């Protein structure tokens, strides 16, 4: 029988973080500091007050390297998003997509499973919300627009040039391409459901019946493309290519309705999309030109006992280069203080969550937790527990990267003990991303962006945050059931 007291003690650093963030509305970094303190106290208790503090330097070194590998993508990404917002590129894309002459149902599928995934994969940090929210609020009434905006974040496991995948691979020790392929197997069952939920939001079962085949095929193709891109060692741009592929195919299928718009706006489209195409081209060049790839990889490598990070091989360098080019071409005033503060807070929060996981790992807390869970002696119950933990961590932190930092090593060890570690590691990565799109932080971000577009209600004031939270919880329950079924099938099939 599972020892609930011990499992509660082991999980208390994560539980405390969740309570402080969700119930007391504390910032992630403040909540994380409390988690670090709790983790250190538990480490002392578990090791009979003989925890070797000489390990702290190794823990900090590993945590810093992992955080830097994320921060070097986060800060340039924030600068690039700010530039694209200030030079009206984002507004231009919104107007361009809004001008497409197609039915709202097809346009929603095009957005949810094509355009928005591609854009979120490229720069991350919710940039797709700045495009999706205005379009959805132009097309639909407030409640539908809020729900569709949340669904537009479905690509988060591959968002920000595969950042959560890269961090997850470093923490678990698996090859990033192998982890990406296994993650795609989980996500391929989620994407069609996202499309179907979007259709249901628009027009219930009548719309679902009419357009379900388009949503299912688009979702399956999106997941299949992610798997193919991982198979050819292109994880960083897999979400971009997959999303663009879906958008192009859906566009071609409805060519007769789009050709006039495209012909009239071809130059405008290229002008709006060239920053994204430039990033895509530079990443492919650095990846496929072997001498350049080797040179950049060996230029500066940071190492700890069990980690290494090639600074100039990071996609963040490409984002920084493109941001500099755009700033030279279009000199605009940037809010450096705001960008640096947001990047600093994001990086600090991630560092603290990684620090918690490293303390828990090196002090034996994770091993103890694994032993307690394995004491259940029923692998099918474990299969039901682990996706639930992944969803809760992601819902609380609002980040696929932070969710991986906290739980991926636990998932890996559980998987190693009952069958295949990479299956559970991939489940964590995929679940962490798909649950994050329904998190409290995304709800807050959607509400913030929607203020400029929301239609004024007549009569009684409606609490859209509450409506969206209830909708998101229902979606998370559905995602949970799908992921448990997927994990069960893979476990039995292995």
pLDDT, one tens digit for every residue, the chain (494 residues): 456 677 777 778 878 877 887 677 777 778 888 888 888 888 777 665 455 666 777 778 878 887 787 788 778 877 887 888 788 887 787 777 777 777 888 888 989 998 888 888 876 656 677 788 888 888 888 889 889 988 888 888 787 777 788 888 888 888 889 999 999 999 999 999 999 999 999 988 888 888 999 999 999 999 999 999 988 888 888 888 888 889 888 877 776 454 555 455 566 667 777 887 888 788 888 877 878 878 887 878 777 666 667 778 777 888 889 889 888 887 878 778 888 887 777 778 778 877 887 787 777 777 777 777 777 778 888 888 888 888 877 777 677 777 787 788 888 888 888 878 899 999 998 888 888 888 777 777 787 777 767 766 655 566 777 788 888 888 889 989 998 899 888 888 76
- Asked if 428 contacts 411 with a C-beta cutoff of 8 angstroms, the reply is yes
How many whole angstroms separate alpha carbon 83 and alpha carbon 156? 22
Its pTM stands at 0.76
SS3 134: helix
The pairs formed by 234-238 with CB atoms below 8 angstroms and a separation of 24 or more are 234/284, 234/287, 235/158, 235/162, 235/165, 235/166, 235/176, 235/177, 235/180, 236/161, 236/162, 236/166, 236/283, 236/287, 236/315, 237/121, 237/161, 237/280, 237/283, 237/284, 238/121, 238/158, 238/162, 238/180
* Residues 6 or more apart whose Cβ sits within 8 Å of residue 488: 380, 383
- Tell me which H or E stretch contains 302: strand 301-303
Facing residues of 308 across strands?
303
Q: What is the DSSP letter of 112?
A: I
């Amino acid at each position: 029988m599972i020892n609930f007291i011990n499992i509660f003690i082991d999980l208390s650093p994560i539980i405390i973080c969740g309570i402080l963030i969700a119930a007391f509305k504390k910032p992630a970094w403040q909540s994380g500091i409390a988690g670090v303190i709790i983790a250190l106290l538990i480490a002392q208790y578990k090791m009979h007050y003989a925890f070797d503090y000489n390990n702290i330097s190794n823990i900090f070194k590993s945590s810093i390297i992992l955080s830097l590998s994320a921060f070097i993508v986060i800060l340039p990404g924030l600068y690039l998003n700010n530039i694209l917002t200030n030079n009206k590129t984002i507004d231009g894309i919104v107007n361009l997509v809004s001008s497409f002459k197609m039915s709202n149902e097809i346009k929603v599928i095009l957005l949810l499973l094509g355009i928005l995934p591609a854009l979120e994969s490229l720069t991350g940090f919710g940039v797709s919300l700045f495009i999706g929210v205005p379009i959805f609020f132009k097309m639909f009434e407030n409640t539908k627009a809020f729900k569709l905006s949340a669904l537009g974040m479905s690509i988060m496991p591959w968002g920000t040039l595969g950042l959560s995948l890269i961090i997850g691979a470093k923490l678990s020790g698996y090859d990033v391409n192998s982890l990406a392929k296994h993650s795609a197997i989980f996500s391929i069952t989620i994407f069609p459901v996202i499309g179907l939920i979007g259709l249901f939001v628009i027009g219930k079962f009548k719309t679902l019946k009419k357009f379900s085949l388009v949503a299912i095929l688009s979702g399956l193709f999106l997941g299949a493309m992610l798997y193919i891109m991982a198979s050819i060692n292109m994880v960083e741009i897999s979400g971009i290519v997959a999303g663009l592929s879906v958008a192009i195919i859906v566009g071609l299928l409805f060519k007769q309705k789009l050709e006039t718009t495209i012909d009239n706006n071809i130059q405008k489209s290229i002008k709006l999309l060239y920053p994204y195409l430039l990033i895509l081209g530079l990443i492919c060049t650095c990846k496929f030109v072997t001498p350049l790839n080797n040179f950049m990889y060996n230029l500066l490598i940071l190492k700890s006992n069990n980690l290494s990070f090639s600074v100039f091989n990071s996609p963040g360098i490409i984002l920084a280069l493109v941001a500099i080019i755009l700033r030279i071409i279009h000199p605009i005033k940037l809010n450096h203080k705001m960008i640096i503060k947001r990047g600093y807070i994001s990086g600090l929060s991630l560092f603290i969550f990684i620090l918690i996981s490293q303390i828990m790992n090196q002090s034996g807390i994770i091993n103890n937790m694994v032993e307690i869970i394995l004491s259940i002696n029923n692998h099918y119950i474990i299969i039901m527990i682990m996706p639930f933990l992944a969803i809760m961590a992601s819902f609380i932190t609002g980040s696929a990267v932070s969710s991986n930092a906290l739980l991926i090593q636990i998932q890996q060890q559980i998987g190693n003990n009952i069958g295949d570690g990479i299956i559970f590691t991939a489940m964590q990565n995929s679940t962490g991303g798909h649950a994050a799109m329904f998190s409290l932080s995304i709800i807050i971000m959607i509400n913030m962006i929607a203020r400029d577009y929301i239609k004024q209600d007549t009569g009684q004031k409606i609490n859209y945050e509450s409506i969206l939270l209830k909708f998101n919880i229902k979606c998370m329950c559905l995602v949970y059931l799908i992921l448990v079924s997927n994990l069960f099938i893979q476990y039995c099939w292995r």
